[in-house]
C-alpha cells in the first residue's frame, strides 16, 4: 500500500506512519553505507510482531567489492538473529565484506550464540551498526569485534534506527510494553453515531494501515464495552501482496467482572481476559473451556483492573508493543494517570465527516481536564494522508533510549 504523507511543521520530512524517515544523508546517489543501512531498516520490518522479546533487527551483507550478497531479519525467539540469517545467505562471499545491521550485534550467549562469534567466523572485515544496544549484557558487541581486528563504525541512520527499535528500548528500560493508542473519529470528534453505529468512519486505505499496525504489534487490547458494543474480531487482515502473511496479535480484553460473552468473536484461543476477583468462578470455567486464558489481577480504583499490574504482566510475557483500540473509558484510564500517561504513542485517524449529536461518543472518556492549559500535548507530531482521511501520529513525553533492565533472549 502506498500512502501519501505530509511532513511535520518545520521538519521538511515525509515519513510513513510508525517509521522514522531515512531522510538524512545523501540522496538517490547516496553513499553505500546509507543505502545498505536503509535496506537493513526495511528488512527489519519483516520481523516486527514476530521476534519478541528480541528486537526486530535487519541486516545486509556486501562482499569485498561492495555488492549485496545477503540480508536477513530476526527470527522468532530461540532462532537465528538478523546477522546470522544474512551471513548464512552470503556464505563464503561474506569473507572480507561488510555487514550493515540496525542494532549493535549481541556479544553474550542467550538462547542462541552471540552474533559477534558468527561475524568473526564469517571473516567480515567491516561492520556498520546503526544504534548501540542499551542492554548492558549486549552492548560490548562493538568492542568484541574491534578486538578481533574488525573495523566497526556506529551509524549511519542512528536516529531512524532508534525509532525503529523504540518498543524494544522501552521494554528494556521499564519492563512494560510500548503502548500505541489508535482510534478513528469524525471531523467533529465522534467515534460512532448517537445510536452506536461506527462502521466505517475511515476509508479502506486507513483501515489497511490499522491492520498493518496490528500485524506489527504483539498484542491488541480493548475494554469489555468495546466487545459488547461492536463484537470485533481483533484479527489482522492484510491485502494480498502486503509482503508477508498477516499475524494475529494476542487479544487482551480488560474486563473486571468477567462479562465477556461466550458467543463473542474474540472468545477462544489467542485471547487473554484480564479481570479481577470480582469475576464469577462459573464464568471463568466456561471461558477457559472455550480456550480463553484468564488472568486475575489486583483491582484498582472503582474495582477496575489495575492497569499498571496488567502492563507489568504483559511485559513479563515478552510483549514489546501493545496496541490499544478503545474504548473511551480504557483510553481515559491509560492517558490520565497521576504519574503520567501509560500510552507512549497515538495514532489518531480523522475522517472528513460530521455526525453531530451530544450523545454520540468521543474517543477518550472519563471526566477529562477542567482547563485547556491542563490538556496533554503530543510531541514529535507527524501528519499522514490516506485518501481523504488524515492520520495524526505523535508521542507523549518520553525518552527514546535508556538503560537496559532486561536481557535479550
Active site residues: 83
Q: What cell numbers appear for 149 in the block?
A: 581486528
Q: Which helix (H) or strand (E) holds 35?
A: helix 32-44
Label residue 400 exposed, middle or buried (CB < 10 Å: 0-12, 13-18, 19+). middle
CA distance 305 to 334: 12
Report strand pairing: 98-101 vs 58-62: antiparallel
DSSP three-state, residue 93: helix
CA distance 323 to 300: 21
Sheet holding 58-62, edge to edge: 68-73, 58-62, 98-101, 126-129, 151-154
DSSP three-state, residue 335: helix
First and final CA of the chain: distance in angstroms?
A: 33
Asked if 142 and 116 touch (Cβ cutoff 8 Å), the reply is no
- Angle between the N-to-C axes of helices 115-122 and 82-90, in degrees from 0 to 180, rounded to the nearest 10: 20
CA distance 157 to 140: 20
- 156, 335, 362 from 346: Cα distances, Å: 27, 10, 15
Angle at 399 between CA 164 and CA 107, to 5 degrees: 55
Q: What cell numbers appear for 283 in the block?
A: 464464568
Angle at 137 between CA 133 and CA 139, to 5 degrees: 30
Asked if 94 and 123 touch (Cβ cutoff 8 Å), the reply is yes
DSSP state of 375: S
Amino acid at each position: 500500500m502506498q500512502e501519501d504523507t505530509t511532513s511535520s511543521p518545520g521538519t521538511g520530512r515525509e515519513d510513513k506512519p510508525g517509521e522514522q524517515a531515512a531522510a538524512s544523508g545523501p540522496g538517490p546517489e547516496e553513499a553505500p553505507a546509507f543505502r545498505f543501512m536503509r535496506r537493513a531498516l526495511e528488512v527489519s520490518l519483516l520481523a516486527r510482531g514476530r521476534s519478541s522479546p528480541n528486537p526486530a533487527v535487519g541486516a545486509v551483507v556486501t562482499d569485498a567489492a561492495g555488492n549485496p550478497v545477503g540480508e536477513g531479519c530476526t527470527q522468532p525467539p530461540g532462532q537465528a538473529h538478523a546477522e546470522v540469517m544474512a551471513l548464512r545467505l552470503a556464505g563464503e562471499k561474506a569473507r572480507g565484506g561488510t555487514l550493515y545491521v540496525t542494532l549493535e550485534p549481541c556479544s553474550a550467549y542467550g538462547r542462541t550464540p552471540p552474533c559477534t562469534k558468527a561475524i568473526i567466523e564469517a571473516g567480515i572485515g567491516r561492520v556498520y551498526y546503526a544504534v548501540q544496544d542499551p542492554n548492558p549484557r549486549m552492548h560490548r558487541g562493538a568492542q568484541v569485534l574491534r578486538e578481533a581486528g574488525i573495523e566497526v563504525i556506529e551509524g549511519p541512520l542512528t536516529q531512524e534506527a532508534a525509532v525503529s527499535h523504540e518498543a524494544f528500548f522501552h521494554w528494556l528500560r521499564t519492563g512494560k510494553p510500548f503502548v500505541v493508542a489508535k482510534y478513528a473519529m469524525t471531523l467533529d470528534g465522534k467515534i460512532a453515531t448517537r445510536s452506536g453505529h461506527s462502521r466505517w468512519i475511515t476509508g479502506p486505505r486507513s483501515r489497511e494501515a490499522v491492520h498493518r499496525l496490528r500485524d506489527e504489534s504483539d498484542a491488541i487490547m480493548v475494554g469489555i464495552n468495546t466487545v459488547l458494543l461492536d463484537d470485533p474480531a481483533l484479527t489482522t487482515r492484510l491485502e494480498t501482496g502486503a509482503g508477508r502473511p498477516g499475524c494475529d496479535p494476542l487479544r487482551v480484553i480488560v474486563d473486571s467482572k468477567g462479562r465477556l460473552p461466550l458467543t463473542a468473536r474474540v472468545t477462544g484461543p489467542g485471547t487473554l481476559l484480564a479481570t479481577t476477583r470480582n469475576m464469577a468462578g462459573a464464568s471463568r470455567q466456561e471461558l477457559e473451556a472455550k480456550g480463553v486464558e484468564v488472568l486475575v489481577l489486583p483491582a484498582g480504583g472503582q474495582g477496575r483492573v489495575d492497569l499498571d499490574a496488567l502492563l507489568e504482566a504483559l511485559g513479563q510475557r515478552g510483549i514489546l508493543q501493545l496496541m490499544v483500540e478503545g474504548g473511551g473509558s480504557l483510553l481515559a484510564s491509560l492517558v490520565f494517570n497521576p504519574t503520567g500517561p501509560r500510552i507512549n504513542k497515538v495514532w489518531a485517524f480523522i475522517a472528513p465527516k460530521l455526525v453531530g449529536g451530544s450523545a454520540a461518543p468521543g474517543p477518550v472518556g472519563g471526566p477529562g481536564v477542567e482547563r485547556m492549559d491542563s490538556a496533554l500535548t503530543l510531541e514529535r507530531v507527524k501528519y499522514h494522508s490516506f485518501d481523504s482521511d488524515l492520520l495524526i501520529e505523535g508521542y507523549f513525553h518520553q525518552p527514546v533510549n535508556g538503560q537496559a533492565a532486561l536481557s535479550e533472549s
